[in-house]
Structure 1
Amino acid sequence: MLLCDVVLLPLALYSAISLRFGTFYPVVSSYYWLFFLLPFLTVPIFIRVGLYRAVIRYMDDKIIATVFYGVTLSVFMLTAAVVMGRVEGLPRSSIVIYWIIAIAYIASSRFMARGVLRSLERRTDRRQKVAIYGAGRSGLQTALALMSSPEFSPVAFFDDNEDLHGTNVAGIRVFNPADALKIMAERDCFQLLIAMPSATRSRRREVIQKFEGKDIQLKTLPGMGELVDGRVRIEDIREVGVEDLLGRDPVPPYSDLLSACIKERVVLVTGAGGSIGSELCRQIAINSPLSLVLFEQSEFALYKMEQELHRHHPFLKVYSVLGDVLNREHLDRVMKKYKVNTVYHAAAYKHVPLVESNIIAGVLNNAFGTWNAVSAAISSHVENFVLISTDKAVRPTNVMGATKRLAELILQAISESGSSKTRVTMVRFGNVLGSSGSVVPLFKEQIRAGGPVTVTHPDVTRYFMTIPEAAQLVLQAGAMGKGGDVFVLDMGEPVKIADLARKMIELSGLEVRDPATGQGDISIEYVGMRPGEKLYEELLIGENVEGTHHPRIMRAVEGMIESVILFPKLEKMKQACTAGDVETVKALLIELVQEYQPMIETGEKVH
């Protein structure tokens, strides 16, 4: 480019003089030396302003400003040379014309070089071709980032804005989304990146549905809140997730509810290394607690959570405690030592088949672990105690759900007795996306392995919610309790697991195998209901439900067992657990949780 400028600068001056005189052959013999002097005056200026530091292949429109600045300084130097050299016969107006022509020559030479380099690149380019849906700022940043990546090559933009159709953004043509499949087929492109980070979830779902089952692999950018300073990195691109298919936008959290039990308080989270527990810790950390106590049985999970909090919140006091909720004395010591104000009890065994085959462990951890935790909270004068419950506690058909309902009954009985000042609250919700034991990671792994994707039953449905949204709603619901409240979260519409599996296969750019013809990439196999599994999950036991001032949180009004009846039975159950008497434990579970209807291995209810 420097050698090119050595030629173009004298040519620009000659062109300016020719235009001024109106001839291709102006007489310049009296000042011919200016043509040799001009590059020596101008090239050092161009070096100083950084014109030769730009990588031509990835150059953007900002280069024009640099060229403008450099040529303007060149004009001043040329004018000084003309004045000091007392040049005769050179029209002064030709210097202004030189200024305009030099900017055009120097700038266009850069863009021509960029075009040639990119054209040569395209001929030998083995990167994966990708189209981008959204030609706004995020789309532009994404395209520029992809151009410099060794993995992807952007070949087309699609945008809903009709004014952009037919235009070029970063040298890439913008097309009507209605022609997307045709355009992508012409360009041998089978990946589409949705660059609409600020769009609503329902709008994202509309876009995704246009390409479902079309052999197009969909990827997306995270929300704007997750991007740093608006800069897009290749690592930010991810496959379209199930959260993009929910079609329900999360309600922004109410800041007063979110921080009510947290700000300037000592907060303890049991099960702090689990899916929900870890997200609760993240949400708590950003709401200015006095300190955060992590209580976790798994050493590795506790270490990971501690390191994450130290990395993102270096000034937050974090205390990591290895412990088991079955050790009441340890819980007591920890809560008293750190003067805990609020407890979020997320520690539980949640995997339905595992708890079904380990009944005593499930009862001890989920029911008696909760009793230990709330008893320690009461004796330590903790202000707020929030239990993380589940929709499987409603008319349970498995041990896991029954133990979680029993935990709710324990808290209701304690609260009803009025013997403590600790405000006890329960929050009940459905499946969270990406949690341990969730079907989503399982399906992803099965798709990656080439299938088959295993579904228990064609009609099985579940409620879904993202982990951050669930954690935020838990924190807000916990702040609204008066004592003994059971809150249920609005989970939106239930999702058919078979439909979910089909969509995940299609969004991976693959086809569901037709069992009749055998055509397609990955098959869906129905393996039968697991022990204790329900076709449909519910959030309410009865019909009595009250609204709250949060649109996604409801208060359930449900039956309970008085403490004078419940606690003696619990003591009897504890003795049976100690003796390893599974039958007595299960019989007492059925007696106490009246809605519990266990299933036999065929999936039928035991009456």
Structure 2
Amino acid sequence: MTAQGLCRRLIVLPRGYKQVVAMSVDSLALCGTLLAAIWLVSDRFSADVIAGHWHFPLVMLFGVLLFAQAGFYRTIIRFAGNRMLFSAFWRLALLAGVMAAISAWLPWPGFRLDAAVLPVFIALSLLVLVGSRLLVRSLLLASQSGSTRVIVYGAGHAGVRLLAALAQTGQFQPVAIIDDDPIHQGRVMDGVRIWPASELPRLIRDYRVDRVLLAMPSVARARQQEIIESLMKLNVSVQTVPDVSDIITGKARVDDLREVSALDVLGREPIPPDQDLLAQCIRHKSVLVTGAGGSIGSELCRQIIHLAPRRLVLLEISEVALYQIERELRDAVARQHLDVELVPLLGSIHHRGRMQALMESCHIQTVYHAAAYKHVPIVEHNMLEAIYNNAIGTWYAAVAAEQAKVEAFILISTDKAVMPVNVMGATKRLAELVLQGMARRGSDTRFCMVRFGNVLESSGSVVPLFREQIRRGGPVTVTDPDVIRYFMTIPEAAQLVIQASTMGRGGDVFLLDMGEPVRIVDLARRMIHLMGLSVRDEANPSGDISIEYTGLRPGEKLREELL
């Protein structure tokens, strides 16, 4: 039977049996190390001398008791760390002290022990006991290791922690580390050599690597984009560790591997918010978010609770969506000790009387109006509901806010409201005109609008759709090879809304500089490459994923305008 086979047999044993085996092995190891220490130090080593020593049964009894008290036999060996080494040292030192006291206090020959034996005994026991556990852990991890070979890109702190996490899980086998710093190159980290980026194609080929893990959460977005562009040509799946801000705040761990974000695929830096503008309409105020369970509404709520509102009212028509966002926010409030009152309310913006009543009873000062129907093809087939919800519902909510003396009302609109060719865009443009008319008429409530481009990772966005299609084996569906869109991230969208509530003076329309528009087919190609696959087309008929063009849907344009 091989060592790994023996480890597998031990794994399936009941916990009590494992503890008995560990205690028996430790007691024999302690006797063996004591015997070795006496042999190394004593000049009168013989079988008779050893047979007369009472320290052997004492070391077996007290040693196992001390280790049991320290929790050695409750520790899961696969997750044993540096603390085990220090704990073992102090227990062995205490055991040596007990042996020295017995040797000094009891005059009989069988209890006499040379003082020089004790430090040698501690060193040998530490080596054997801790070393045996590390050996067993290595064998266990080797027996459970997956077949996925990976390369870690980044030898900094995130890379070190990622290697430690991979060693614990055993799901991946790191075969190389890549780092741009010449100081690190050529060194070995946790048994894995560090190579320059120029060696990456050869390493992927020689080791048959399936995946590259980017461990560079603090590196500038531009540099990350350069690395991602170079990896796209190598047909390997690319995953990243979370952003350093998420790691610092506790939202994510370094080993929470993720698909490359859509913002990485787009290749631009996120637009930083103006911190002075974020809190002015929120701090110590009562805030209402309509559509609080949607993609934008929920992100607004996540950011608002960190800006010290007095009260946050969540209005949502879907019970499931309201339950999910309320639970998430309550967990965040409890975990981060935030002082904010959360009020979850089921309701519809169609009920003007109820809207005014809740705004007055909750003393609402700022309203973020995110409730809307936004999926273009669905709205095309449900025109009356779209008008009633997106336009008339906005009018009802705005009138209720005005009568309740709300300070600021912010409408979340869309770039499809510019020269609209579909029902969704037309209803949003009508909602904008309603608010601009109310502002022009004169009102104590400041009405303003924020126009979004396509919001990445939101419900209905092409990014999660493409990801799902790629995982199913394709094809990836694109409406037209020439269709282009402006993109922004969900956090960018939420921050823009919050800043607009401070900047707006009445009737203003705000939008984000989203850089250059992106061809949707290019986005699809990048996502295919970054998941370790190739595009199947006329130039590469043996590729993995094909791209199919379905034609523009009713109400769609090739290009969206912002103004």
The alignment's TM-score, normalised by the length of structure 1, stands at: 0.77
Kindly report which structure 2 residues correspond to 1:155-174, keeping only aligned pairs within 5 A, or say none.
Answer: 155-174=175-194
1:192 to 2:212 alignment = yes
Give the conservation status (yes or no) of the 8 Å contact 2:292–2:301. yes
Q: 1:76 to 1:189 in 2, by over 3 A?
A: same
1:262 to 2:262 alignment = no
Kindly report which structure 2 residues correspond to 1:450-599, keeping only aligned pairs within 5 A, or say none.
Answer: 450-539=473-562, 541=563
Residue of 227, 236, 253 corresponding to 1:207: 227
Question: Partners in 2 of 1:73 and 1:54 — Cα distance?
Answer: 20
Residue of 39, 46, 52 corresponding to 2:60: 39
Residue 62 of structure 1 aligns with which residue? 83
Residue of 253, 256, 266 corresponding to 1:246: 266
Residue 5 of structure 2 aligns with which residue? none
Kindly report which structure 2 residues correspond to 1:221-240, keeping only aligned pairs within 5 A, or say none.
Answer: 221-227=241-247, 236-240=256-260
SS at match of 1:492: coil
Residue of 64, 70, 93 corresponding to 2:116: 93
Kindly report which structure 2 residues correspond to 1:57-456, keeping only aligned pairs within 5 A, or say none.
Answer: 57-86=78-107, 92-119=115-142, 121=143, 125-126=145-146, 128-149=148-169, 151-227=171-247, 236-313=256-333, 316-325=341-350, 327-417=351-441, 419-456=442-479
Moved more, 199-208 or 213-222: 199-208
Question: Partners in 2 of 1:285 and 1:55 — Cα distance?
Answer: 39
Give the conservation status (yes or no) of the 8 Å contact 1:141–1:231. no
Question: Partners in 2 of 1:273 and 1:233 — Cα distance?
Answer: 25
SS at match of 1:62: helix
The amino acid across from 2:227 in the alignment is V
Identity percentage over the alignment? 46
Give the drift of 1:501.
Answer: 0.4
Q: 1:46 to 1:488 in 2, by over 3 A?
A: same
Give the conservation status (yes or no) of the 8 Å contact 1:353–1:532. yes
Question: Partners in 2 of 1:390 and 1:465 — Cα distance?
Answer: 12
Give the drift of 1:372.
Answer: 2.7
SS at match of 2:545: coil
SS at match of 1:523: strand
Moved more, 474-483 or 132-141: 132-141
Give the drift of 1:187.
Answer: 3.6
Give the conservation status (yes or no) of the 8 Å contact 2:314–2:342. no
Give the drift of 1:512.
Answer: 0.6
1:549-603 CA deviation, whole Å, 9 max, x = no partner?
xxxxxxxxxxxxxxxxxxxxxxxxxxxxxxxxxxxxxxxxxxxxxxxxxxxxxxx
Give the drift of 1:499.
Answer: 1.0
SS at match of 2:412: strand
Question: Partners in 1 of 2:548 and 2:522 — Cα distance?
Answer: 13
Give the drift of 1:132.
Answer: 3.0
Question: Partners in 1 of 2:549 and 2:176 — Cα distance?
Answer: 40
Q: 1:328 to 1:108 in 2, by over 3 A?
A: closer
Give the conservation status (yes or no) of the 8 Å contact 2:242–2:253. no
SS at match of 2:444: coil
Question: Partners in 1 of 2:301 and 2:538 — Cα distance?
Answer: 46
SS at match of 1:478: helix
The amino acid across from 1:81 in the alignment is I
Give the conservation status (yes or no) of the 8 Å contact 2:278–2:495. yes
Give the drift of 1:41.
Answer: 4.1
The amino acid across from 1:531 in the alignment is P
Give the conservation status (yes or no) of the 8 Å contact 2:352–2:397. yes
Pairs aligned (count): 533
Question: Partners in 1 of 2:361 and 2:345 — Cα distance?
Answer: 13
Moved more, 222-231 or 191-200: 222-231
Question: Partners in 2 of 1:224 and 1:517 — Cα distance?
Answer: 38
Question: Partners in 1 of 2:199 and 2:233 — Cα distance?
Answer: 16
Residue 585 of structure 1 aligns with which residue? none
Question: Partners in 2 of 1:231 and 1:474 — Cα distance?
Answer: 23
The amino acid across from 2:456 in the alignment is L
The amino acid across from 1:33 in the alignment is G
SS at match of 2:279: helix
Question: Partners in 1 of 2:416 and 2:352 — Cα distance?
Answer: 26
Give the drift of 1:524.
Answer: 0.8
Give the conservation status (yes or no) of the 8 Å contact 2:100–2:113. no
The amino acid across from 1:260 in the alignment is Q
1:484-510 CA deviation, whole Å, 9 max, x = no partner?
222221223322211110111122222
Q: 1:43 to 1:290 in 2, by over 3 A?
A: closer
Structure 1 residues without counterparts, runs of 5 or longer: 542-607
Q: 1:113 to 1:439 in 2, by over 3 A?
A: closer
Residue 586 of structure 1 aligns with which residue? none
Q: 1:62 to 1:165 in 2, by over 3 A?
A: farther
Question: Partners in 2 of 1:229 and 1:127 — Cα distance?
Answer: 33
Q: 1:165 to 1:54 in 2, by over 3 A?
A: farther
Give the conservation status (yes or no) of the 8 Å contact 1:342–1:383. yes
What is the root-mean-square deviation of aligned Cα atoms in Å? 3.3
1:195-225 CA deviation, whole Å, 9 max, x = no partner?
3334443333233223214221122232344
Residue 569 of structure 1 aligns with which residue? none
Moved more, 77-86 or 482-491: 77-86
The amino acid across from 1:63 in the alignment is M
SS at match of 1:529: coil
The amino acid across from 1:485 in the alignment is D
Give the conservation status (yes or no) of the 8 Å contact 1:130–1:191. yes
Give the conservation status (yes or no) of the 8 Å contact 1:71–1:103. yes
Give the drift of 1:526.
Answer: 2.0
1:276-314 CA deviation, whole Å, 9 max, x = no partner?
122222222333333333333444434443444444447
Question: Partners in 2 of 1:90 and 1:209 — Cα distance?
Answer: 68
Question: Partners in 2 of 1:10 and 1:112 — Cα distance?
Answer: 20
SS at match of 1:47: helix
Give the conservation status (yes or no) of the 8 Å contact 1:269–1:345. yes
